[in-house]
Amino acid sequence: MGRVSNEIEDEVLPSDTSAAQLNDESYEGSTSVVLKKGPWTSTEDDILVDYVNKHGEGNWNAVQKHTGLLRCGKSCRLRWANHLRPNLKKGAFTAEEERFIAELHAKMGNKWARMAAHLPGRTDNEIKNYWNTRIKRRQRAGLPLYPPEMCLQDFQENQRNQSNGGLNGGNKMHLDLLQKNSYGIHGAIFDSTKDNQGILPYAPKFSDVSVCGNMLKGLDSSSQYCSVMPPASPKNKRLRESTIPTFHGSNDTKKNGLYPLCKNRDNNYDKISQSFGMQALLDPGPSLHNSMCYSHSPSNGNPSTSKPTFEAVKLELPSLQYPELHLGRWGTSPPPPLLESVDDFFQSHTPISTLESDCSSPQNSGLLDALLYQAKTLSSSRNHCSDKSSNSSTATPGDRGDNSALNVYETEWEDYADPVSPFGATSILNECPDLRGSENSLDEQLSLQTFTGNIPKLEFVDKVWTPDNENQTLSFLNINRPDLLFASDWNDLGFGHGKNQAITTDTTTTLLGEDFAADHKHMTSGTSQSSQVWGFGSCATAANNMHALCHLSDLG
């Protein structure tokens, strides 16, 4: 845009640059050739296009020699790649593209070129500009950079990693990165917490639990952005003494699939709580630390003393910022229940993801427990008979083995799946038509999703995005929604339609309150397809749900 001024003065391309031009500061180069800088003119474009048409791409330094174009090879390549090459898609990103970019960024970080490779017609520069703009915008708005669902996914991966034996190589890398990045992260995380202290009764008081890698990264190199976008308003200055622990993923996910939130029965809620900044209040013990990185010096030994690392490190990897996302909702939640009870809840129930094959009996009493157990039982029997729908989001690792497409992508994933990326290449093929056709911007939709329970599902990242496959790419994963036991999944279980659904909804309302029920109701209003999957509408919602369930469990 802009820079039209050059258009006039350069209408004639100076293959025979005058001496006057040599002194022009817009020209630079060696003693022999003075290369022009600044905006390209249409004439230059024509020359370049003509050259590329004749000689093909590459050998950019030869352009100047052969055409007299006073541009360096770099500039030519850039011009061609970003503006002149055919099939470039100009114009604003569509909502679908925006979502896809978010997903890609979540997985890749600031790998613009890679991202561009998945968006035909889009350039890395374009994507980069878009993303940076988005970051700024969301930062100003105090919004998270990523949809909360992504955070959950990362958390789930982390859960699996922990259950699989602690830190693996990827996690180790995580730690390294984390330590390097702890400063920026600290600020970021803390910002989000303090900002919500007023409304978040269980705002984390733990300190020094630095967010791990993927959550922290991805924002940008200069750490000017944080995983949780703090409102730009000065009045929102925040403390710097605490952080919200978060989880990090690993590439294990791409092997294990998804939905592990409840898969590991070991203190799942503890870990969730950790992720939401609750854990430390209750359990400062080492369990927390399995997945948490500490920014303070190990020699310090004082977990309450945050010692940000000031080493300047470029953060590239994705940053998942969920804690802040819906703190408003958190704020509306009752004070946290006894987390132990939540642990009990999870421990007493077969992980949702394994309902199909494992119907444990409730170990806890309580209405919801009973309901959940009943649902599980029915689900198990039903699923065994129905041979799992093709788009089941609860594919097990074994299922994945049957998915050749998945395997293909999985292989390619290895190339760039960052071990510290928040998301592995989890691939659950579920469509969520709810978002399709929406013309809302991604930001808007993400906000919406927060309350509708739609979880943007990370698909095979290594496929090229097209409108045709977008519905697959943007599948949604709802694997960890205890609240949906009352709704969508009951549909799936044969409970949810008509009267039964009304009953469960009413029950939810009664037991969990209008707010929760409204959420639940909203979420269940989706299509049957979307109701086949489980998920958190938002981390906060999930937390609320768990709190509610915990309450119920205790009440029961």
Partner DNA sequence: AAGAGACTCAACCGCTGATTC
Partner DNA sequence: AGAATCAGCGGTTGAGTCTCT
Q: Residue 39 interacts with DNA (CB under 7 A)? A: yes
Q: Distance between CA 105 and CA 109 in Å, rounded? A: 5
Q: Distance between CA 140 and CA 133 in Å, rounded? A: 11
| Binding mask of the shown chain, residues 126 to 145, with x at each position contacting DNA by CB under 7 A | x-xxx-xx--xx--x-----
Q: Residue 440 interacts with DNA (CB under 7 A)? A: no
| Token pair listed for 451 | 């309350």
Q: Distance between CA 205 and CA 244 in Å, rounded? A: 8
The residue among 75 and 471 lying less far from DNA, judged by its C-beta, is 75
Kindly write down the DSSP assignment for every residue of 244-302, as one continuous string: -------TTHHHH-S--TTTS-SSHHHHHHHHTT-HHHH--SHHHHTS-EE-S-TTT--
Scanning 70-78, 148-156, 497-505, 538-546 for contacts with DNA by CB under 7 A, the matching segment is 70-78
Q: What are phi and psi of 144, to 5 degrees?
A: -70, 155
The residue among 73 and 494 lying less far from DNA, judged by its C-beta, is 73
| Binding mask of the shown chain, residues 138 to 177, with x at each position contacting DNA by CB under 7 A | --x-------------------------------------
Q: Distance between CA 485 and CA 373 in Å, rounded? A: 10
Q: Residue 59 interacts with DNA (CB under 7 A)? A: yes
The residue among 138 and 457 lying less far from DNA, judged by its C-beta, is 138
Q: Are 215 and 144 in contact (CB under 8 A)?
A: no
Task: Label residue 307 left, alpha or beta by phi (over 0 means left) and psi (-120 to 50 means alpha).
Answer: beta
Q: Residue 125 interacts with DNA (CB under 7 A)? A: yes
Q: What are phi and psi of 102, to 5 degrees?
A: -60, -45
Q: Residue 10 interacts with DNA (CB under 7 A)? A: no
Q: Residue 20 interacts with DNA (CB under 7 A)? A: no
Q: Residue 61 interacts with DNA (CB under 7 A)? A: yes
Q: Distance between CA 537 and CA 479 in Å, rounded? A: 10
In terms of C-beta density within 10 A (0-12 exposed, 13-18 middle, 19 or more buried), how is residue 542 classed? buried
Q: How far is the CB of 221 from DNA (least distance, A)?
A: 4
Q: Residue 462 interacts with DNA (CB under 7 A)? A: no
Based on its alpha-carbon atoms, the radius of gyration of the chain, rounded to whole angstroms, reads 26
Q: Residue 113 interacts with DNA (CB under 7 A)? A: yes
Among 105, 114, 238, 296, contact with DNA (rule: CB under 7 A): 114
Q: Residue 509 interacts with DNA (CB under 7 A)? A: no
Q: Are 405 and 475 in contact (CB under 8 A)?
A: no
Q: How far is the CB of 232 from DNA (least distance, A)?
A: 7
Q: Residue 220 interacts with DNA (CB under 7 A)? A: yes
Among 82, 168, 438, 469, contact with DNA (rule: CB under 7 A): 82
DSSP 493: T
Scanning 109-117, 159-167, 296-304, 353-361 for contacts with DNA by CB under 7 A, the matching segment is 109-117
The residue among 92 and 385 lying less far from DNA, judged by its C-beta, is 92
The residue among 83 and 255 lying less far from DNA, judged by its C-beta, is 83
Among 316, 324, 470, 492, contact with DNA (rule: CB under 7 A): 316
**Count of chain residues binding DNA (CB under 7 A):** 48
Scanning 51-59, 205-213, 264-272, 345-353 for contacts with DNA by CB under 7 A, the matching segment is 51-59
Break the chain down into helix, strand, coil percent, rounded to 5.
Answer: 50, 5, 45
Q: Distance between CA 23 and CA 34 in Å, rounded? A: 9
Q: How far is the CB of 150 from DNA (least distance, A)?
A: 19
End-to-end CA separation in angstroms for the chain: 65
Q: Residue 5 interacts with DNA (CB under 7 A)? A: yes
Q: Residue 60 interacts with DNA (CB under 7 A)? A: yes
Q: Are 126 and 230 in contact (CB under 8 A)?
A: no
Q: Distance between CA 412 and CA 278 in Å, rounded? A: 37
- Contacting residues toward DNA, per CB under 7 A: 1-5, 28, 36-40, 57-61, 71, 73-75, 77-79, 82-83, 92, 110-114, 124-126, 128-130, 132-133, 136-137, 140, 220-222, 232, 314, 316
